[in-house]
C-alpha cells in the first residue's frame, strides 16, 4: 500500500492502515524536520516547510495559496485550530454528495476519535495581545466571541508561540509528525521523504470495466532519481492542489480537479497606541461567528493570525516605497481581524505541460459581497477595540479614523466599491479543498463513498480534496476524520 502525502490525510490513513496489518509506504514530497530543526527564520522556513516555498498563487495572481510541504504536511505549520465539522455542514455534504456517512454519524464518530487522539481542547487558548484586542472589540459590540479549540498538549501559550507556523519547537502541537506518523512507523510503515509522486501506475485491464487498477507509483526522488513503488493500492493524500494534479498526470479526467474551494481570506488592519507585536502570542485563541449567525452559513468568520515581517510586507497596501516603509516601521503597533470566507463559488486545478498544477479561481459576486460585509464588520471590531486608525488591505489604501462622523460607513462603502477580486485586495488561501470531491454520482464527483476514484480500481483519496463543499471552518480535523474513516473501506478492499 502506497500513501502519497503525510499530513492530516496521509498521516492518519497510513497509521490506521499499518495498524490493520497492511504493509505501508508513505511518500512525502517535502523533507524531514523535527523540533531541533525548526530555526524559525521566516524566509528559510517558507522554503523548507511550505509547498513551492509559498510562491503558488491562482493563475491571475489574485490569491496566494499557502500549504505545508514537509513530513507531517500542513499539520506541522498550521495554527493548531481544530474545529469539528459543523453538523449543518455534514448535513449539507450528505445532501450534495449522496453519501450517507456524512449524516449517519459515521464521520462524526471519526471526528471524535481523531480529536481525542490529538488532545483537542479549549483549555490551552490563552489569548495574546492580538486576540485580546479581537475579543475586546467583539465584547464591546455585544458580538459573539469564543475560545478556539486547539490540538496541543503542554503548549506554552506565550510570545514564542507566534513562530509555530514555522514548526513547534516544544512538540506541543499535536501534528501528525508527533502522533499518527510515529504510530505508523511503530506499526511497520516506511516513511520516505523528498519524493515527488509524478503518476500512478495503472494496469491496462479491469474485470469491472473501469479503466484499470492502480499497481504503484512513479516518482522523482531528491537528486532527480526515478523511483518506482509497486503496490496493491495507492492512496492519494497530497492535498487539494497536489492530489488532483497527480491524478490528472495519471490520465484521470471527469470531475478530477473541479469544484475547488479556497476559503479566500483577507483582513482589516488597525493601528493601536500600545505595542501589539502581532507576530507573537498563541497562534489563534479567539474567534467569532457573529456574521454567520446573522447572515447565514456562507458568511465569514473572524480569526487572527500571527503576522511576521515577510508576510506583512506582502499583505500591507503599497502606494509608494516611503508609505510602505512607514507602515512597516509601525508594524509593532498594528493588529488585524482576519476575515475567513466560506466560498460558494469554485475553481479548478489543471496541470501545465510539465505536469505542474495550475489553479484557476475567481471570486463570484455573492462571495465578494460577503467578503465586503466581513471587512466592514471587521473594521467595526477594530474601532471598538480602540484602534486610532483602521484600513483595508486593498492596493489603494482605504482608511478611516474611528470617532469621525460617518467615517466607518464611508470607508465600508469605498472598500465595497473597490471590490476584492482580480488582485484589488490582498487575498490568501490557507485552506484548499473539494477538488476531488466525494459523491455517489460520477457525473458530479471524482471519488465514491468508499474513497475509491470512480475511474480506477485500487486508487483511493483521503484528504481535503474530498470535501463536497467548503467546510466553513479550519479544515484540519475534518480531513483527519475522513482519512480515519477511509482506512476501513480501504483495508476491507485489500483483505
Name the nearest CA neighbour of 293 among 416, 132, 145, 413.
145
pLDDT at position 147: 98
In 133-224 the beta strands, taken as DSSP E runs, fall at 146-147, 150-151, 190-193, 195-202, 214-221
Task: Find the largest Cα–Cα distance for the chain.
Answer: 74
pLDDT at position 268: 98
Q: Quote the CATH superfamily of domain 2-55+68-119+174-260+435-494.
A: FAD/NAD(P)-binding domain (3.50.50.60)
User: In which region does residue 21 sit, left (phi positive, over 0), alpha (psi from -120 to 50) or beta (all else)?
Assistant: left
Q: Which residues, including other chains, have CB under 8 Å from residue 12's CB and lie 6 or more apart?
A: 114, 176, 180, 462, 480, 483, 484, 487
Strand, coil or helix: 167 = coil
pLDDT in tens, 55-67: 999 999 999 999 9
pLDDT in tens, 224-262: 999 999 999 999 999 999 999 999 999 999 999 999 999
Q: What angle do CA 198, 236, 97 make, to 5 degrees?
A: 130
Cell triple for 427: 487575498
Name the nearest CA neighbour of 359 among 186, 240, 490.
240
Question: How do the pLDDT tens digits run along the chain, 495 residues long?
Answer: 999 999 999 999 999 999 999 999 999 999 999 999 999 999 999 999 999 999 999 999 999 999 999 999 999 999 999 999 999 999 999 999 999 999 999 999 999 999 999 999 999 999 999 999 999 999 999 999 999 999 999 999 999 899 999 999 999 999 999 999 999 999 999 999 999 999 999 998 655 555 699 999 999 998 899 999 999 999 999 999 999 999 999 999 999 999 999 999 999 999 999 999 999 999 999 999 999 999 999 999 999 999 999 999 999 998 899 999 999 999 999 999 999 999 999 999 999 999 999 999 999 999 999 999 999 999 999 999 999 999 999 998 999 999 999 999 999 999 999 999 999 999 999 999 999 999 999 999 999 999 999 999 999 999 999 999 999 999 999 999 999 999 999 999 998
Contact 88, 297 (CB under 8 A): yes
Alpha helices in 99-174 (DSSP H): 101-104, 106-118, 129-141
User: 356-375 burial, b if ≥16 CB within 10 A, otherwise e?
Assistant: ebebebbbeeebbebbbbbb
- For cell 492518519, what's the residue? 12
pLDDT at position 385: 98
Measured between alpha carbons, how far is 148 from 126 in angstroms, rounded to an integer? 10
Measured between alpha carbons, how far is 323 from 316 in angstroms, rounded to an integer? 10
Contact 1, 235 (CB under 8 A): yes
Catalytic residues: 431
Please, which residues bridge with residue 400 across strands?
390
pLDDT at position 84: 98
Q: Quick one: how many helices (H) and strands (E) in the chain? A: 15, 21
Contact 200, 214 (CB under 8 A): yes
Angstrom CA distances, 171 to 33, 187, 296, 298, 473, stand at 12, 21, 38, 35, 24
Name the nearest CA neighbour of 28 among 67, 78, 70.
70
First to last CA, the chain: 12
Residue ranges covered by each domain of the chain: 2-55+68-119+174-260+435-494, 129-149+265-340+363-421
Strand, coil or helix: 221 = strand
Amino acid at each position: 500500500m502506497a500513501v502519497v502525502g503525510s499530513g492530516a490525510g496521509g498521516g492518519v490513513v497510513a497509521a490506521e492502515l499499518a495498524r490493520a496489518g497492511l504493509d505501508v509506504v508513505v511518500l512525502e514530497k517535502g523533507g524531514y524536520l523535527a523540533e531541533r530543526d525548526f530555526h524559525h527564520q521566516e524566509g528559510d522556513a517558507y522554503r523548507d516547510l511550505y509547498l513551492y516555498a509559498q510562491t503558488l498563487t491562482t493563475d491571475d495572481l489574485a490569491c496566494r495559496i499557502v500549504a505545508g510541504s514537509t513530513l507531517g504536511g500542513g499539520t506541522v505549520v498550521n495554527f493548531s485550530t481544530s474545529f469539528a465539522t459543523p453538523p449543518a455542514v455534514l448535513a449539507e455534504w450528505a445532501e450534495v454528495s449522496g453519501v450517507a456517512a456524512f449524516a449517519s454519524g459515521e464521520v462524526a464518530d471519526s471526528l471524535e476519535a481523531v480529536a481525542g487522539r490529538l488532545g483537542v481542547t479549549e483549555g490551552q487558548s490563552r489569548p495574546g495581545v492580538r486576540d485580546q484586542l479581537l475579543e475586546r472589540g467583539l465584547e464591546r459590540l455585544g458580538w459573539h466571541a469564543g475560545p478556539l479549540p486547539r490540538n496541543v498538549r503542554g503548549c506554552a501559550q506565550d510570545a514564542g508561540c507566534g513562530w509555530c507556523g514555522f514548526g513547534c519547537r516544544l512538540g506541543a502541537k499535536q501534528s501528525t509528525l508527533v502522533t499518527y506518523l510515529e504510530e505508523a512507523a511503530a506499526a511497520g510503515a516506511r516513511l520516505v521523504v523528498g519524493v515527488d509522486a509524478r503518476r500512478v501506475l495503472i494496469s491496462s485491464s479491469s474485470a469491472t470495466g473501469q479503466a484499470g487498477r492502480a499497481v504503484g507509483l512513479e516518482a522523482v526522488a531528491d537528486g532527480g532519481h526515478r523511483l518506482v513503488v509497486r503496490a496493491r493500492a495507492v492512496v492519494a493524500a497530497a492535498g487539494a492542489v497536489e492530489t488532483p494534479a497527480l491524478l490528472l498526470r495519471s490520465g484521470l479526467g471527469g470531475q478530477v480537479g473541479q469544484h475547488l474551494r479556497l476559503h479566500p481570506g483577507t483582513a482589516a488592519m488597525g493601528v493601536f497606541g500600545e505595542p501589539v507585536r502581532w507576530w507573537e502570542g498563541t497562534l489563534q485563541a479567539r474567534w467569532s461567528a457573529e456574521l454567520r449567525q446573522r447572515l447565514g452559513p456562507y458568511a465569514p468568520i473572524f480569526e487572527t493570525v500571527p503576522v511576521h515581517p515577510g508576510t506583512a510586507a506582502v499583505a500591507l497596501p503599497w502606494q509608494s516605497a516611503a508609505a510602505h516603509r512607514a507602515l512597516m516601521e509601525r508594524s509593532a503597533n498594528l493588529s488585524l481581524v482576519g476575515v475567513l470566507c466560506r466560498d460558494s463559488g469554485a475553481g479548478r486545478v489543471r496541470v501545465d505541460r510539465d505536469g505542474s498544477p495550475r489553479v484557476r479561481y475567481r471570486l463570484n459576486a455573492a462571495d465578494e459581497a460577503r467578503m465586503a460585509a466581513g471587512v466592514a464588520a471587521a473594521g467595526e471590531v477594530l474601532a471598538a477595540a480602540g484602534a486610532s486608525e483602521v484600513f483595508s488591505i486593498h492596493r489603494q489604501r482605504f482608511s478611516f479614523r474611528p470617532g469621525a462622523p460617518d467615517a466607518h460607513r464611508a470607508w465600508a462603502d469605498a472598500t465595497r466599491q473597490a471590490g476584492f477580486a482580480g488582485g484589488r485586495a490582498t487575498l490568501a488561501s490557507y485552506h484548499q479543498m473539494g477538488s476531488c470531491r466525494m459523491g455517489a454520482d460520477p457525473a458530479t464527483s471524482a471519488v465514491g463513498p468508499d474513497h475509491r476514484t470512480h475511474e480506477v480500481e485500487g486508487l483511493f483519496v483521503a484528504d481535503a480534496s474530498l470535501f463536497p463543499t467548503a467546510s466553513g471552518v479550519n479544515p484540519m480535523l475534518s480531513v483527519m476524520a475522513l482519512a480515519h474513516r477511509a482506512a476501513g473501506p480501504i483495508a476491507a478492499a485489500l483483505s
